[in-house]
Structure 1
Amino acid sequence: MKNRYKIVLALIAFIGITSCASEDNFKLTEPVGEFTITTPLNGDAIVLNETTPTNPGIALTWTPMDYTTPTEITYTVQLAPNGSDFTDAQDLVTTTNTNASIQSAQLNLAALTAGATPFVQSPVDIRVKATTGTSGSQPVYSDTITYLVTTYGCLGQYAVGAGIPAAGWNWDSPLSLICDDGVLTARTNLINDTFRFFTTSGDWNSGRNYPYYTDLGYKISSTLVNAADGDQNFRFTGTPGTYRIKIDENIKTVTIAKSTVTSGFEPTSTWLVGAATPGGWSWSGDNETELPLITDGIYEVPLTLNNNETFRVFLGNNGGDSWGEGSRNYPWYVSNGYTIDSELVNANDGDSNFRYTGPTAMRIFKINSVTKVISVD
């Protein structure tokens, strides 16, 4: 009997010791205090360049986190949209050091994903997460700094809707708009119905409807209108057919152009060249401005027109100096019965080009060959 008591007492003592040891072990993994990012400083900035993708985009250092027992600590650098709660945080790098460097290309993509505007200084939030591999540990987060990043390029986007028959209102085959330096383009068949642009495939909440662009000051092709359908999608009102869709986030335009070729210069387009246009009197470096067919008989383009400068309409583009491809000056349109906007006059400069007399501004230039009206809106 005495031996039984001894066994029971020993067992109780062993359980108590084990329990205390477990409790002590748990307490030993508890974090103590806090840790902070020391560099860069809050509000520091960088301009990223696509020609140096492996250069450091951000180099961080931070004070070590203290746990109640010496243990290996894993640190993870996180980036999130400015002012967010890090619910959508991206993990950029994981290390056991108290410093890390993120290459420019990686930071550029992460910042764009977090909503940075290409070529515009945009804030993103950065913090460091500390964890240990010991049972009972818990993550601890550093202070958050705001880093100002000027990104390049842009993320591809998507479009779905009944107005794009190949896509429809589902995510089985969305139209992909490929991005190059802030300009998104795609070629697709359009019919007289609705569609919407999206930044994330499969995410209905990432949609950008017609008012999204107009509220930001975008100029939009006149055959793309607000559907006024509750969701205020885009509606295509032009002649059904194959078109190039272009969203230019640099100059803030959403345009379409009748498309008959998959590459090279579009034979259905005309071209604007002259000092009144962004490219001046030059065909080099794509300086000419495409004046595309946006529906049967209507040519239209948004562009910045310069006050009191001249230009001419050219009928073709061979990829080089296309002066000999044929052109039409101000008197040609007058003699063919066109009504011309009062802000456009005969330059009387020897070639009788158009002279633009309105304010220097982004305008929509349109030639309606059906009604024979040339307008500047």
Structure 2
Amino acid sequence: MKKQHIFQNALLTLLMLFGLAACQDREILTIENQSPAIVMDLSQEELFLDSNFPDNLALTIAWDVAKYSQPTELKYKVEASADESFEVPYVMGTVSGSQRVVSYTVGEMNKAAQTLGLTANEQGSLYFRVSSYIGEAGEYVTSTSNTTMLTITPYELEYPTFYLVGGATAAGWDAGQAIPLYKTSNMSYIYTYLTGNEPFRFLGQTNWNPLNYSIDQAGTRENYRYFKQVSSNLVQDGDENMKFTGTSGMYKISIDAATAVQSIEVEASPVAGWDFPEIYMVGSMNGWSATAPLTMAQVSPGIYEIVTPLGADAEFKFIGQKDWGDLEWGNILKDNHGYSGYVGPKGDNGNVKFVGNGGSYKVTVNLKAGTYTIVSQ
């Protein structure tokens, strides 16, 4: 009986070892892809996107089921690219389970096209593919479909208008006085005063809500995260703001709001000051004579004004001396002639051009804020 008992124990131990080995073998599964996730159809071969109907359905993409040697929960990633090699893919979206059809609106397609660098109002090409993958972040791509091309004409995106507010700015913390930046397409600029080691942020309106823009990183409020790239003199400050760490003075702020960029650069202005004893106006109204300019009155530090007639072809600049020296301001950005309401220093400006009626106008320039206004009197 004792020998039989020993034999039974040995047999039981052996069976347990085989069972454990079998369990381990079952945990190491080899999943082999048996068919790719092939894009079956694009609902359109050519798209002309109309900015008047951003919520309209534009494109539907469908594909068949990827098959694997083991039952596997798959996810699918839909990607677009401006080139057939997908060197810089744009993720349109991800789906899981049995879903094998996705649809995109006019606005979504336009965002994809512009993010990938297609030119507004010009016909271009987008390429699409679908990848099946395993894992939460798509780290295990199991197969990729064939590539399908779409001809598309995008429209110009409407980029945010940024309003500067905060302790570092000329506006202070008064949202009603927040300073808008000069915007041209995806780029926004201003030459303005910044106080060192003080916080600020951007609003999307002259109010605290609904839009706020700050650095896109952990610790910033989720709905305030925007700037993916920031210059070295900006750091996060609390959950709402960023802080300017440079020396107090005049700076050029440049924002690229392109979806794939969303950057902000702050660099020193070539004219560091903003409060001068005298500011003059020179242009078509005085024959462009810098030695005999029109003197502007200083109404407060950095703010100057003059009342003068302006005709239909009026052009002028502001100078800080009675000659064409370093102190010069005109319409913001190099060779940008017009009436933007923003001043740029020498080397980065054009003439202010204003169509007047020959009557009197009050011209006010605020060098600290980086703005000017022309108001009929």
Q: Is TM > 0.5 for Structure 1 vs Structure 2?
A: no
TM superposition score category, shorter chain reference: 0.3 to 0.5
If the length of structure 1 is used for normalisation, what is the TM-score?
0.45
